[in-house]
Amino acid sequence: MLETMQKKDADYEMLKTLIHKNLGFNCEQYKDSHFKRRIDVRLRATNSGTYRDYVKLLQSNSNEYPELMEALTVNVTNFFRNPEVYDVVEKEILPALIKAKGTGLKSIRIWSAGCSIGVEAYSIAMLLHYLLGNDFNKYNIKITGTDIDKDSLLKAQQGIYSGAEMKDVRPAFLSSYFVKEGNNFIVSEELKKVTQFKKQDLISGPKMNGFDAIFCRNVTIYFQKELQEQLYMDFYNALLKDGFFVMGKTETLIGPSKDMFRAYNSKERIYQK
């Protein structure tokens, strides 16, 4: 039995090596339980009984790699997900950022980390446009969405969404910020011009800084504890003074950052530098 387990572990390690080599996806950053759950989706879909069977499949059929990448990075997401968080963002966080800019250079920089298909970045852009109204173009606004999955980033850049992703968009925003084409909704150019999307590995990629607010929700739960600690400090350092950090409802600050951030709204997991 021990020998069988060792073989299984060796096959799993071989699979991780293949994934890292061919997808550039660093498996060691993720909790094993999460990672195995995602891989098991593809084992079932391909009728692979073991990790070894799946390794053989990957070696003989490179078309499986895009399917695997999607399984590893898939996120259930839609505009204004967790509306209670966006309620605080709309009524308190963004107005505070706007007020803090005063009369000088009115530059607002926001980072949507682990942005998936871009709905969070565009949700923030809608709220900013709504709050600023005719003053929107007086501000230099840049909302940067980053992710490791190029297919998700491509969808974000295209800004074309299905009805399911639109379910929490208020009617006034639907008519103001989207063009309906068949069953799809296309983001307006007004929002696209203040958003940008790029590939970025949160752990090993170059560090970013100079942000008024960072949103990283339901991303760090998949990372090992040590990497969570590192990430939260990276976010702290990437924020300007009094900048806001918005995390997922099931996530908790750990490590040095928990003594450095101050809680702004603990219930909604919003913190301030």
pLDDT of residue 2: 45
CB distance 82 to 186 below 8 Å: no
pLDDT in tens, 152-179: 899 999 999 988 889 889 999 999 999 9
- pLDDT interval class at 4 (50, 70, 90): low
Which of 103-107, 138-142, 255-259, 269-273 is predicted least confidently? 103-107
Over the chain, what is the mean pLDDT? 88
DSSP assignment string, 218-250: SSGGGB-HHHHHHHHHHHHHHEEEEEEEEE-TT
d(CA 203, CA 271): 21
Q: SS3 of 216, please?
A: strand
User: Would you say residue 192 has pLDDT above 60?
Assistant: yes
Residue 263 has pLDDT above 90, yes or no: yes
pLDDT at 8: 62
H/E run at residue 187? strand 184-187
Tell me what pLDDT residue 104 has.
Answer: 62
- pTM exceeding the 0.85 threshold for the entire prediction: no
Over residues 260-270, mean pLDDT:
95
CA distance 177 to 80: 14
The pLDDT tens digits for 68-121 are: 877 776 666 789 988 899 999 999 999 999 999 876 668 999 999 999 999 999
Q: Which CATH number fits domain 83-272: 3.30.70.380, 3.40.50.2300, 3.40.50.150, 3.40.50.1820?
A: 3.40.50.150
